[in-house]
Structure 1
Amino acid sequence: MKITGDLNLMKKINKSIVLELLRKASPLSRAEVAKTTGLTKATVSTLVAELMEENLLYEIGTGESSGGRKPVLLVFRQDAGYAIGVDLGVRDIHAVLTDLKGTIVHETRSSLRGMDTPEQVLGRLKDCLRRLMNKAPASPYGVVGIGVGVPGITDDKGTVLFAPNLGWRNVPLQSLLEAEFKVPVIIDNEANAGAVGEKEFGIGRDVSNLIYISVGIGIGSGIILKDELYRGASGYSGEMGHFTVHADGRPCRCGNVGCWELYASEQAILAEAEALLSPDAADDGSGAETAAEADDSATEVPRQAELEALASLADSGNEAAQELFRRTGRYLGVGVVNIINTFNPELIIIGNRFTLAERWLAPSVREVIQERALPYHRERLRLEFAGLGLRSSVAGAASFAVSGFFADRQVSVGMNG
């Protein structure tokens, strides 16, 4: 089939190819760009000049000579603009300001304790976003966008359709934030954001098939297959925290019973640990009492939250805390085995709050995988805890915003037949 297009369209396509190459692989010389892309040196020189005028590229020193003049190297200008990434949690808001390469420039956390309505949470979120926007350094493009990861189901219009652990239904978060801040906003599931964060900046960079399991108050997952985020037929994939592990189990806020997250999440482990985290049990300096007595109206999140206190008890030799982590790790492992046997991924990443207790959870999870996963599925499998720690989702959310900014400069050619 013959594809036709005017010269302007071809120029846009070639320009987007050059920019994408330099975003990912700079510094490069013009000759290296021409060789890699297959474009003529004259075309590359013209396109590079335009991108430099647009403040997206700049020249640095010279590279090694292959016989003639030393080539001038080109670098993508990562400080041409900034993006904000947000992990909207149940108990707090974690947000970062990054440059166009994902480097974190500023970071903030704000507590949501005592805030029960979408209006209250939205007010705190807006305050957090204003603080970060005000901290953005001067740049040609300013803040190019905001990405927000939420613990629930979202649609392609940025509406939070259902977030059971937040108690949200049909909240038009994208339109509300765009009206306030006048920049593009992308809303997605926080586990999807975590998967993208680990794929682009963390331990998944060289992996084509990975599943990121976000374990906090609930459990969600982000699925990357053949280097692409898998969203499912309607865009709602990844709600693995709500698959059933007990047919006649506890009721869940999603409407189901026996959901995985009722047995293997932070919410689950803390419900069982309530006695261990009481003020009487916190006299050993674990900080649990400080967390329990924290002022709900405070802007900053308490330094010592409950999961950290429980891990501290385990570290100090408390056998009940250690056993609780082992039991929770086995429940977590049961769900992981189901994922392994279904998807046969190269890498499973456990992220979000449970990264804080990797020492105590990992042995039980690995033990269950060894016991229960199909042997052929285990052969090439790696299980890791998030390389970015608690930053996986904010990094991915910021990446969504940056990708949206560059999408305006990318051209795709459709074929009809």
Structure 2
Amino acid sequence: MLQTGDQFLVKKINKSIVLETIKKNGPISRAQISEVTGLNKSTVSSLVNELIQEEFAYEIGLGQSKGGRRPLMLLFNTTAGHAIGVDIGVNYLLAVLTDLQGNIVQETMLTIANLSFENIVDLLKQTIQALIDQAPPSKYGIVGIGIAVPGIVDEHGQILFAPNLGWENVDVKSIIQGHFHLPVTINNEAKAGAMGEKIFGVGKGIAHSVYVSLGIGIGTGIIINNELYKGCNGFAGEMGHIPIEPNGKKCRCGNRGCWELYASENALLEQAKALAIPPAPNEPEITLAHLVTLADEGHHEVINLFNQVGEYIGLGLTTIINTFNPELIVIGNRMTSAEKWLINPITRIVENRSLAYSRKQLRIQFSGLNMHSAVFGAVSFAIDDFFANTRISL
């Protein structure tokens, strides 16, 4: 909605500043908010009272005195509403219900066997409905649904191409929004992962970072100057499809020799099958978890397999390092479970192949959020969207 009238625009901006200050610095007093923001005390007091009435903030009692009256301390009301985040993987669906600070209230993990669009949409609806039914009562209820997908997503949330799911030009946003009558945001899962790490993970306080999602495929999310870099049409980060073998294998994207064909979970599993490594007892196919177990038990072929894949991962990371000169590279998604067997070949290749200047202040770290990076990012997009719309309605 177009804002008219200077006083309403100023109030909107000031109220947003006060709310963000409480969210980031609480418990905090009105006087401290005035000091931090530079807003006068009467303005802060008025805006805080509105936020309390709207249940976005509440008073928690008296703080320590600095020579005068003890101040009333304020805290952000994280349970004023809840959000749902979903990470649609190639063979899994991870969904969480969180409060407005991203704290998980409920979580669901499903294995996807049937990759048809209709089946995944049905699972998505069932999973979201189950989380809605489990949500505690709150002032604003479910404020939004964030969905992360392994594919190319435009600025309107349209999924243009998800090769590993076999999707092209599908409008999941309209389907889910129409079904639940709630705001829905759709984003690429690696971009969501980058935001998840920036807000909740090892990327906190890092201005320049790259999140590398190592799953069935590979995607990257790029943070430059504390902002998610999307490119001119929102498609930046498809580095899993950088060719590293000129005459390599054919990729689902239509190209040949893409990085993800040699450095992803899928590449690992395909090579394990080629070596006739048997699956775990009572399992129909070989899995990443089983390969990690075999490596831990000293299986030489599997250890060598991890070493080869780790070297290919390192080659791709070298391109990222030389191109973006990040402070931090975060490796996330399912391959984090194999950190023990991947970190040495990755480090060795990066040290041998990347420019010394580019890696001087670099850290490479496996995600502590494991598979939750993207789902936390999806939640953050939904919550940000809610607060953006709330501010506009002032």
Q: Smaller-chain TM-score range?
A: over 0.9
Q: Distance in 2 between matches of 1:148 and 1:255?
A: 26
| Contact 2:144–2:386 under 8 Å retained in 1 | yes
For 1:146 and 1:290, how far apart are their aligned partners in 2? 37
Tell me the equivalent position of 2:93.
93
1:184-234 deviation per Cα after TM superposition (whole angstroms, max 9, x unaligned): 000000000000000000000010000000010000000000000000011
1:330 aligns with 2:322: no
Equivalent in the alignment of 2:105: 105
CA contact (8 A) 1:213 1:222 kept: yes
Q: Per-residue deviation at 1:275?
A: 5.8
Equivalences for residues 5-404 of structure 1 within 5 A: 5-113=5-113, 115-274=114-273, 281-282=278-279, 288-292=280-284, 306-404=287-385
Distance 1:383 1:255 in 2: 30
- Partner-residue secondary structure (3-state), 2:35: helix
> TM (normalized to structure 1)?
0.91
Aligned partners of 1:82 and 1:97 also within 8 Å? yes
- CA-CA distance at 1:147 after TM superposition: 0.5
Residues 307-344 of structure 1 deviation map (CA, whole Å, 9 limit, x = unaligned)? 01000000001011100000000000000001100110
Residue identity opposite 1:57 in structure 2 = A
What is the CA–CA distance in structure 1 between the aligned matches of 2:145 and 2:276, rounded to whole Å?
37
Distance in 1 between the 2:318 and 2:391 partners?
40
CA distances 1:151-192 after superposition (whole Å, capped 9, x unpaired): 000112221100000000011011110001111000000000
Distance 2:282 2:53 in 1: 54
Unaligned runs of 5+ in 1: 283-287, 294-304, 412-417
Q: Which residue of 2 aligns with 1:299?
A: none
Query: For residues 127-158 of structure 1, what are the alpha-carbon distances to aligned partners after superposition, in whole Å with 9 as ceiling and x for unaligned?
Result: 11111111110000011001011000011222
Distance 1:276 1:258, change over 3 A: closer
Q: Aligned partners of 2:73, 2:178: CA distance in 1, in Å?
A: 41
Count matched residues: 390
Q: Tell me: CA distance 1:291–1:157, structure 2 relative to 1, closer, same or farther (3 Å).
A: farther
- Structure 1 stretches of 4+ moved >4 Å: 275-278
Q: Percent identity?
A: 52
Question: Partners of 1:330 and 1:353 in 2: how far apart?
Answer: 18
Q: What value does the CA root-mean-square deviation take over the aligned residues?
A: 1.5
Query: Does the residue aligned with 1:273 lie in a helix, a strand or coil?
Result: helix
